[in-house]
Structure 1
Amino acid sequence: MKTKWKQFSVLPGFSLTLGFTIFYLSLFVLLPLSAVFLKTATMDWGALWAAVTDPRVLASYKLSFGAACIAALMNVVFGLLVAWVLVRYSFPGKRVIDGLVDLPFALPTAVAGIALTAIYSENGLVGHYLQSLGIKVAFTPLGIIVALTFIGLPFVVRTVQPVLEDLDTHVEEAAASLGATGWQTFRRVILPELYPALLTGFALAFARALGEYGSVVFISGNMPMYTEITPLLIMSKLEQFDYAGATALAAVMLLASFVLLLFINLIQWRTGRRYAVKG
């Protein structure tokens, strides 16, 4: 009896598609990333260590990773709320709000930065009232978090929304009929189903915020040791023709981002596997 290994497909076979996949990833992902490390390798160890551990650079690391993490966590909370409202309720203007969620995707980052700076500056529409309360947003780390939250919200909403749409509401009704409170139903019934999607949304929002430049450069004020992000330092070194120093900072950001995203993906994989076993 002959075993049928090949299956009909409208696309080319496995070997050809795999070849195209490797070629595409090598050309547009692996080669540019490897160029960063190859350029960095031209520096001697002392110069490399001095470039990546300069106090000004360390301050930019702390600000970039800290603001990106805070913004991603905020987007997890508010992105879940937005997705919940869009999925579970019907109200006038729902399609308009649903479309506005994708606005940060299409809006040029420079335009977003200028708009946020105008709104949250001391004389801005919102910043004027916040200033009277002693809260300054523009040209502070808080302004950077606001900008990163703005550009990262759609990643969480669009990741969680399909999962909520597929979630069976009868399970929630069954939990309520068994005496579970609203919080217990959310924590033990809904949240386990949403947890992998929330982790994915967090990872996407974090990665997007970590590499953001256009919207942050306007609202941050770019003050060294205070509101200067690492991408701005990389651009400054490129403008000074310090390509080795710029690629050294880029290599550090790449390695740190890879480790963090790998850790998040491992948590997501273990969580999904645990829930699959329980199911």
Structure 2
Amino acid sequence: MAKKWRLKKHSILPGFGLSLGFTMLYLSLLVLLPLSMIFINTSSMGWSDFWATVTEPRVIASYKISFGTAFAAACINLLFGVLIAWVLVRYSFPGKRIIDGLVDLPFALPTAVAGIALTTLYTEKGWIGQFLSFKVAFTPLGITIALTFIGLPFVVRMVQPVLQNLEREMEEASAILGANRFQTFVRVIVPEILPAAMTGFALAFARAIGEYGSVVFIAGNMPMKTEITPLIIMTKLEQYDYAAATAIGAVMLIFSFIILLFINGLQWWTNRKFVHN
């Protein structure tokens, strides 16, 4: 029986080996190599000097401010980002396209401009601050507002496509089976949007941790009260204390990686629990 020879069909796209090689090279040059330099520069310090630098009371206070306000802002964005995405997808109203475009404004607006604008609004004599009975600018609350502003688009843009692709028949079937609106939202809609919402939360949190431009103006930069860690790093760099700057940056990097790893694990767990059940 004659053998049938088949010509191997080659794809116009690169194969797995080639694409993986370029991917690893690209990530190594742009991500791994710069990050490794942080630890290499830090290694020039002795352990006692390193520990003394990263555990200074002023630095510890900045950790609490940076991580605390970033987490608070990410939680606010998680709640209101889902709400805004829901309104933009499910309802039609005048000016919808304008509002949809405004969501991306924090991406395009220079962070320094955002910081100056927010400070002008929320100072004691600002357009909004003058009507408030409590102080916003130059407090952790002002920092949280600035971080909420720059992190909102992450949640909205992650959840919005999921809601657009969500089939209305699922909600109609839930209503036919006797579920009310709240039950339909919790048992049908939430499991679908939860992985995307958690991804948006992680991105907003990661962006907020390292934010500098929009925060430095409204924070007031008062040591032990409103001083963020990126500002301390910048101060160390201006003093040519590169070892101390990289040491503090290494601590921020390690804590950020651990927190993001936890959030990604939580996202994987929620995806497995709600989607596959």
Give TM-score, length-normalised by structure 2. 0.95
CA shift digits 1:55-84 (9 cap, x unpaired): 110100001000000000000000001000
2:227 corresponds to 1:228: yes
Deviates more, 1:113-122 or 1:267-276: 267-276
Aligned to 2:166: 167
Mapped partners of 1:86, 1:253: distance in 2: 36
What is the total number of aligned residue pairs between the two structures? 275
Matches within 5 A, 1:33-44: 33-44=35-46
Of the structure 1 ranges 40-49 and 171-180, higher mean CA displacement relative to structure 2 is found in 171-180
Q: Does 1:256 align with 2:255?
A: yes
Query: Structure 2 unaligned runs (5+)?
Result: none
* Cα distance between partner residues in 2 of 1:248 and 1:267: 29
1:245-279 residue CA offsets vs partner (Å, 9 max, x unmatched)? 0000100010001011111111111222233432x
Distance 1:19 1:116, change over 3 A: same
Q: In structure 2, what residue type is equivalent to 1:165?
A: Q
CA shift for structure 1 position 170: 1.7
Q: TM-score, normalised by structure 1?
A: 0.95
* 1:44-123 equivalences in 2 (<5 Å): 44-123=46-125
Deviations 1:129-168 (A, max 9, x none): 11xxx22111110000000000000000000000000111
Q: Gapped runs of 5+ residues in structure 1?
A: none
Match of 2:44, SS? coil
- Give the counterpart letter for 2:186 in structure 1: R
Alpha-carbon distance between aligned partners in 2 of 1:117 and 1:72, rounded to the nearest angstrom: 20
Tell me the equivalent position of 1:154. Answer: 153
Cα drift, residue 177 of structure 1? 2.3
Distance between the aligned counterparts of 2:185 and 2:174, measured in 1?
10
What displacement does 1:19 show? 1.8
Instruction: Report deviation, 1:7.
Output: 5.9
Q: Secondary structure at the match of 1:11?
A: coil
Q: Is the 8 A contact 2:221 2:227 kept in 1?
A: yes
Give the deviation of 1:14 after TM superposition. 2.3
For 1:76, the aligned partner's letter is L
Matches of 2:190 and 2:11, distance apart in 1: 38
Distance in 2, matches of 1:276 and 1:123, equals 50
Distance 2:163 2:89 in 1: 7
Question: Residues 113 and 214 of structure 2 are in contact (CA less than 8 Å); yes or no, is this contact kept in structure 1?
Answer: yes
CA deviation profile, 1:179-233 (whole Å, cap 9, x unmatched) = 2222111111111111101110100000000010000000000000000000000
2: CA distance between counterparts of 1:163 and 1:200?
A: 12
Match of 2:134 in 1: 135
